[in-house]
Amino acid sequence: MEEEKRNWPELRAEREPAWTSGSRALGNRYLVVFPEEEVTLCLQLQRLRGHHYRLLDVPVGIEGVRFGDVIEAVPSSDGLRFLQVVRPSEWVTIEVSLDDWETMEAVLRVTETGRAAWRPIGGNRIAVCVPPGQKLDRGAA
């Protein structure tokens, strides 16, 4: 049996690249550089294949990129440099004021069921990401 084990191929675990040249990964949060807007955001991403990532966060202030999009980004000295949206998401992101209690109740109902995500975006506002077909029914019980 020992002789057999010596002939087995060496197994290597696949790992996220260390990217010593730049891309700073913080768990599954990455610094993402958006060159057109000249903005760097710390965003939660799901690594897919190659340089493709699913955006699991709200890119506040970035036009044309939204929660759930599959993006292409390459390592750079500042983080991951955004190149393009590879597959757009059908999720819708809306801004909600914390002062709007009817809408906030609807947001709470939807997020409690796991069918939406939200993130504070400053002041008394939050961004709510809703999957295709899901509605925020204001005032519904």
CB 127 within 8 A of CB 94: yes
Strands of 92-97's sheet, edge to edge?
92-97, 125-130, 117-122
For the segment 78-84, the average pLDDT, to the nearest whole number, is: 94
Q: How far is CA 120 from the centre of its chain?
A: 14
Res. 15: pLDDT tops 70: no
20 neighbors 69 (Cβ within 8 angstroms): no
**Amino acid 130: pLDDT:** 81
Residues contacting 126, CB < 8 A, separation 6+: 95, 96, 98, 107, 118, 119, 120
Task: Indicate if the pLDDT at residue 24 is higher than 70.
Answer: no
pTM of the entire predicted model: 0.69
* Nearest Cα to Cα of residue 16 among 3, 30, 4: 30
User: Domain locations in the chain?
Assistant: 25-87, 92-130
φ and ψ at 52, to 5 degrees? -105, 140
pLDDT at residue 45 in the model: 92
